[in-house]
Structure 1
C-alpha cells in the first residue's frame, strides 16, 4: 500500500525512492529472522551510512545530507515500515549527533562530526538512569575532573541505552556539580576502558537492536570531549529532545502504516459469506478509522517538522506529534490484529510484531503522560 507523499523538491523524491529501495532490499528480507532470534544485524548500519541515510538532517559541509527535517522524517517512516528497530536506532543516532553539531567547537566538529554523519561511527544517547527517566535533573552519574584537568573520571550507571555495547560513541550526560546547572555533556568513545555494559534488556519488541545499561567504573574521558561548558548538559539534552520526539513520531507512523497495509491486503483477499471481508461495513469502517489515524499522525509530525525547518517554535507541536502518532500506532496495530482474527495472533503474520513494537513508542523519548504535561504547560499564559 503505497503512500502518496508531498515532497518539497525532486531531489527529496529521489532520496525517498532510494530509501524505499534500500528498505525493501536490505531491511524487509532480514527483519523476521533477526527479530525472532534477537540477533544484531551486523553491517546493516554501515550500508545505511554509505547510502547517506544516517546524517540526512545535518548540513553537507559536515558530511550530512542537507535535507529538511520533513524529508528526513519521511525517510525514517519508510525504514520503520520495514523494520522498526533499525528506524529507532537511526533516530537515536541522529539524536546523538545533535550535541556535537549544535554545541561543539569548530575544532571538535571538524574532528568528529563527518565520521558520525557519514555513518562510519554509530552513536547512542546516554541520558537516562535507573532512578532518573523522565526526571533528567536527578542524574547521579558523576564526572570529576582529574587533578591535571586533562580528563574527567566517570562513575555511575546509565540505563535504557539503544545500541548499548554496539555504538562507537555515546552522547553522555553526567553530573559535574550540584543542581540543574550541574550536569555536563561528553562525547564518550564506546571503547573507553572502565566502561562496561549489562545484558540486553529482554524487551517486548525491537529485539534485534540491544537496549542495555552502562557501568562507568572510574573511566577516563578526555577533557576535550566535553561538549559545551560545564553545567550546560541539561540545556544540551533538552534542546535535542523535541527533534528526537519527531523521530519517534515518524517511526510510529511507519509501524502504523505497515499494520494498515497488512490489514487492507488481508481484507481484500479473505472472504466470508461469499464476500471479501472488506466489503462488510463493520470491517470496512474499522479500516477507514485506521487509515484516518495514520493520515492524521503523518500530518501532525510533518506540521511540526515544517515549523522546525522554518526556524519557528515547535516544542508543543513535537509533543503533540509524538503523543498522537504513538497512540495512533498502538490503536492501529491492535485493530490490525483484530482484522486478521486468529491469524493476527500468530507469528506467521507480522501484525503481532507491529503491535509489540508500537507499545514502547508510547514510553520512550518521554512518556505520553510527559507529552501531555509539555502540551498543557504550553497553554499556560503569563499575562496578568
Structure 2
C-alpha cells in the first residue's frame, strides 16, 4: 500500500452542505482548505434530495422557525441567528439561484433542482482556492491528522484545525454511514445512539390492504400525537405509513415506541367537518346503499380512506352513524416500529452537545470541530434540516477562525 501526505490550514471531512459552507467561510478569509469526501462526487445526498424539488428553507416567521428544533433550539439559536432563512435565500441569489415561496410556505429554487446551485457553488469554492479530494474514506483520526483510504493507497492529511461534517446515518449509500462513531467514541466522546428521524413506520396492515392500497396518498387529513395536531397528507407504504405528515410526528411517535413500547397515530379523515355534521349526513343516507357509498356521499371519503377505516376501526364502530363518525374523526392506527435508519430522511443522535463548546469545537480534542447532522439534533422536513446544516457549518468555520486567530 502506498502512503502520501497532504497539509492545509484546515481539513474538512465531509463534502455535504455543512462542510462546503465551512469551506466557503474559511477560504474567503484566506485560509487554505482541503475538503475530503468518501464518495466519487460531492454533496450526493443534497443532490438526491433536490431531484424532485429542493426545499431550501421555510418562509414562516423567524421567531417560529427557530423553535422547530426541539431540545436543541437553545444550542442552535446562535448559529441560526447568524444565518437565517432570509440570509440563505440571499446566499442562493448570490450563486445565481432565484427562489420562490410555495403554497405551503416552503422555499424552493425556481429551477426546482439542486444541481445548478451545487455546480455554481463548487465552481466558486474552487475559484477561492478550496481543494477537493473525492474517494477519500476516513479510517482513523490521530490528533489533527486524518488518515484516509483511497484508490491509490493510504493518505494522511494534517492541518492546524479539522472539521468533521460527515452526516448522520441515513442514506448510507450516499456516504452518511456513521463510520465515524467508533472513531470518536474511542476518544471518549459521548455519542447518543443514532436513530431514524423523519421516517416512516411499520403498521400491521393486512396483506389485502397493502396489496390494494400501497402507494396511495391520503389527502386532506390530520394527525394527532404528542407533537400536536397537523394537517396535510401521507402515504400508505409497502410496510405501513410514510410521508411529510407522518414525518412531522415521527420524533414523538418514535420516542413513544422506545419509552413505553407502543405508539398510535390518531388520524382525522375529514378535518373540515365536525363529528356531529358527519353523524347527521350519515343518518340521511339510505341504509339500502353499501357502506362505501354512504361514506363517499356523506363524508366525502376516498376509497383509500374508506379502506383504512375498515382496516383499523373496531368492529362495533359500524353499528351506528354516531360511532362511525367518531372513528372518522379519530381513527387510531397502532404503529409497530420505525422504518430502518437507512431509509430515513435524517437521523437523530450523534455527538452530544455537552461535548461541544460555543465554537462547535470538541472540548476533549482541541482543534477538532463538528457541524451538521453529526451533532445530536433533529428537525422536521420543510427546509429546517438544510438551513441548520448550513448554519452550523458557518458557525463552526467562525469557531475555527477564532481558534486559529493567533497563527493567521
Structure with greater helix percent: 1
TM-score, reference length from structure 2: 0.26
TM-score, reference length from structure 1: 0.27
